[in-house]
Amino acid sequence: MVGDLSEPLVLLVVGSAVLVLALDDWRPMVGVWALTAAASGLLLQILAGVPVELAGLQMLSGGLLAGVFYLVAWRAQRTAPSVLGARSIVPWRFRALAGFFLYLLARLLAARFPLPFLPIPLLAMTYALIGIGLLMATLSRSPLKAGLGVLTMFSGYQVFYFAVQDSLIAIGLMAAMSLVVAFLMAALTLIRQERLP
């Protein structure tokens, strides 16, 4: 049963991350990103046998971060529309294609160099989310989307970290760092771009 669920869930997580990469409008982008975070928490619990509290923490922090981003974008719509609406110079089709290739590469890497302490689907998902997040962060010109990219990297890394780390303090601090990144991106999006006197 678990094996049956793992592939569709991995595809759901990676597919939604690719969708975030391809989207330009902030509303669906934030919504789909929340779905990615929630599904990766669920996958952690199912595949890696992580305690349900920890997987819940991942889902909760994903929800919180999505909420923060929604509020920031909603406010930026009025105060900094040009910052919010800055679009990537790479068309969405190419971004989606790049995300798909990254996933294939991640599958190949995970199968070729497996790690003894992590199931292959989770390892592939970690690689794919870090790669897609990096792509999202570097291709984007809007701080909001770059922030979602950095947080996608973090959430990919957390899949790996939560599965192997047994220190609750370290896990809590890692989740707290995601909040720091969200705060920074909120500040970068909303900050008033002052001119010299």
What does the binding site for another protein look like in residue numbers (CB under 8 A)? 83, 130, 134, 137-138, 143, 146, 149-150, 153-154, 157, 161, 164-165, 169-170, 173-174, 176-177, 180-181, 184-185, 187-188, 191, 193-197
Q: How far is the CB of 3 from another protein (least distance, A)?
A: 27
Residue 104, burial from CB neighbour count under 10 angstroms (0-12, 13-18, 19+): exposed
Q: How far is the CB of 195 from another protein (least distance, A)?
A: 6
Q: How far is the CB of 131 from another protein (least distance, A)?
A: 12
Q: Report the C-alpha gap between 50 and 171 in whole angstroms.
A: 12
**Token output for 170:** 């370290």
**Token output for 136:** 């999202």
Nearer of residues 6 and 155 to another protein, judged by Cβ: 155
Nearer of residues 105 and 188 to another protein, judged by Cβ: 188
Nearer of residues 15 and 123 to another protein, judged by Cβ: 123
CA 102 → CA 17, 94, 108, 173, distances in Å? 11, 12, 10, 29
Nearer of residues 35 and 174 to another protein, judged by Cβ: 174
* Residues 132, 68, 78, 80, CA torsion sign: negative
- Amino acid residing at 151: L
Query: Could you tell me if 189 and 144 are in contact, meaning their C-beta atoms sit under 8 angstroms apart?
Result: yes
Q: How far is the CB of 69 from another protein (least distance, A)?
A: 15
In eight-state DSSP terms, residue 117 is T
Nearer of residues 103 and 154 to another protein, judged by Cβ: 154
Q: How far is the CB of 160 from another protein (least distance, A)?
A: 8
In eight-state DSSP terms, residue 116 is T
**Token output for 45:** 């619990």
Q: How far is the CB of 4 from another protein (least distance, A)?
A: 31
Nearer of residues 108 and 176 to another protein, judged by Cβ: 176
Q: Report the C-alpha gap between 155 and 129 in whole angstroms.
A: 7
